[in-house]
Amino acid sequence: MQRFSDKVVLVTGAGSGIGRAAALRIAAEGGSVYCLDVNQAGLDETLALIAAEGGAAAAQLCDISDEAQVRAAVAACVARYGSLYALVNMAGILRFDDTDALETSAWQRVIDVNLTGTMILCREVLPHLLASRGSIVNAASTAALSGLPCGAAYSASKGGVLAMTRSIAVEYAKRGVRANCVCPGDINTGMTVDIKWPPNMDFELIGRISSLSGAKGPEVMAGVIAMLASEDGIHVTGEDIRVDGGTLS
């Protein structure tokens, strides 16, 4: 299956986790992938994995909360490949804090990356996606749909991504651009392995975010993302697709 032949896809968070899994899947399906991340070593590994399978990819360091860096990255992608068909927006940060001890600076950093950074990417790619009648896939979360203990900042950021994506979907549907969210739940990535728990965390509440079938790796997200980004999802826009093993069922 070569759903992305002759198509260019920009993937954020491509240096690890769900972003890497998405980049690998899209490259395997014939896409030219432009990979963004803040981790150069992670980007290098992703490029090596894609090259080993005969895929096409390039990479650039980019903090998505920095407007100048995002503009430069999008311009470099289009200059290299000549067009842009889809944005897969998976970059983000996760932290847990007792809400009564949540520092404003920590709150702001989560919002800056997860919500504002996602918006900046969407804004900067939209002129190119209007030309290609392309697609946006943003990373929301089950935390956007259900309470996450000690996750006020993260939940707020992902709820914002979900609402923003629906707004973009409505605004641009008649002009041929689709926008959807994936809502991962209980996915093992580096981000979830290295969690720093707050002092008063009630671990009995973690059962609320555990899947019925057990945690899975990021590769389970890749097929859903590829469907939404490709023309197989041509009649899907403004949706949030849960990939959570039944957590919220």
* pLDDT more than 70, % of the chain: 97
| CA gap 67, 60 in Å, rounded | 15
pLDDT at residue 113 greater than cutoff 70: yes
Read off the tokens for 180: 């959807």
Interval 130-174: pLDDT, tens? 999 999 999 999 988 998 888 999 999 999 999 999 999 999 999
pLDDT at 207 over 70: no
Greater pLDDT, 120 or 246: 120
> Residue 66: which residues within 8 A CB-CB, separation 6 or more?
none
Q: Is the dihedral of CA 200, 201, 203, 204 positive or negative?
A: positive
pLDDT at 199: 82
* CATH 3.40.50.720 fits domain 8-243: yes
Active-site residue 154, yes or no? Answer: yes
Both structure tokens of 229: 């980004």
Question: Given this model, what pLDDT does residue 188 score?
Answer: 83
pLDDT at 214 (0 to 100): 81
For the chain, give every domain's residue range: 8-243
Measured distance CA(47)–CA(53) in Å, rounded: 10
Query: Which of 34, 81, 85, 154 is an active site residue?
Result: 154
What are the tens digits of pLDDT across the range 38-90? 999 999 999 999 999 999 999 999 999 999 999 999 999 999 999 999 999 99
pLDDT at 192 (0 to 100):
66
pTM for this structure? 0.94
